[in-house]
C-alpha cells in the first residue's frame, strides 16, 4: 500500500540521484523542455478566414486588370449577380444591407421618397426579370 506522505528533499552530498539529475542532461536556463512541441499562437479559424478575405486578387473588368481584396471582390460579384436578377443574391444583398444600416444606425425612413439611384435600380431589375 502506498502512502500519501510528501517526498522529502534529497539528503547527502552525492552528485547524481533522487531530484539531482546529471548536469549534462539538465535543461539550460532559457531552454524549453519541449522545443518541438505545439507551436504558440496558432491562428483560429476566424483569423484564417479574415486573413484569406484580405488577400489581394486580380481580375479583369472589361479591358482593365484590377486588384482588390477578396472580400470586396466577393461583394462586387454578389451585387453583380443581384443586378442580373438572381433572386437569392437579391435577397442576400437586401438582408445584408439592412444589417449594415442597422449596425451603423443609419436606418432608412420608409416614408422618404426614392432616390434617383433606387429608381434606376428598380427599373433595371424590372427589365431583367421581365425578359
Q: What is the pLDDT of residue 101?
A: 81
Q: What is the pLDDT of residue 84?
A: 93
Q: Is 108 in a helix, a strand, or coil?
A: coil
User: What's the rounded Cα separation, in Å, for the pair 56 and 53?
Assistant: 8
Kindly state the DSSP code that residue 12 receives in the 8-state scheme.
S
Q: What is the pLDDT of residue 79?
A: 92
Helices (H), 23-86: 45-53, 70-83
Q: What is the pLDDT of residue 113?
A: 81
User: What's the rounded Cα separation, in Å, for the pair 77 and 88?
Assistant: 13
- Per-residue confidence in pLDDT tens, the chain, 131 aa: 556 777 776 676 777 777 788 888 877 777 767 777 767 788 888 899 999 999 999 988 889 998 999 999 999 999 999 999 999 998 999 888 888 887 776 555 667 787 888 888 888 888 776 65
Q: What is the pLDDT of residue 103?
A: 77
Q: What is the pLDDT of residue 8?
A: 72
Q: What is the pLDDT of residue 28?
A: 78
Helices (H), the chain: 45-53, 70-83, 87-103, 116-130
In this prediction the pTM is: 0.47
Q: Which of 89, 82, 81, 85 is nearest to 127 (CA)?
A: 85
Q: What is the pLDDT of residue 112?
A: 76
Q: What is the pLDDT of residue 55?
A: 93
Half-sphere exposure of 68 (CA within 13 A, CB side): 14
Q: Is 73 in a helix, a strand, or coil?
A: helix
Amino acid at each position: 500500500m502506498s502512502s500519501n506522505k510528501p517526498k522529502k528533499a534529497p539528503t547527502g552530498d552525492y552528485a547524481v540521484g533522487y531530484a539531482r539529475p546529471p548536469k549534462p542532461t539538465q535543461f539550460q536556463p532559457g531552454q524549453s523542455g519541449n522545443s518541438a512541441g505545439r507551436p504558440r499562437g496558432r491562428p483560429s479559424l476566424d483569423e484564417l478566414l479574415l486573413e484569406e478575405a484580405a488577400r489581394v486578387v486580380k481580375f479583369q473588368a472589361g479591358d482593365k486588370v484590377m486588384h482588390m481584396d477578396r472580400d470586396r471582390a466577393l461583394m462586387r460579384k454578389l451585387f453583380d449577380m443581384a443586378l442580373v436578377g438572381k433572386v437569392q443574391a437579391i435577397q442576400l444583398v437586401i438582408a445584408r444591407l439592412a444589417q449594415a444600416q442597422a449596425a451603423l444606425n443609419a436606418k432608412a425612413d420608409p416614408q422618404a421618397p426614392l432616390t434617383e439611384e433606387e429608381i434606376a435600380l428598380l427599373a433595371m431589375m424590372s427589365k431583367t426579370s421581365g425578359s
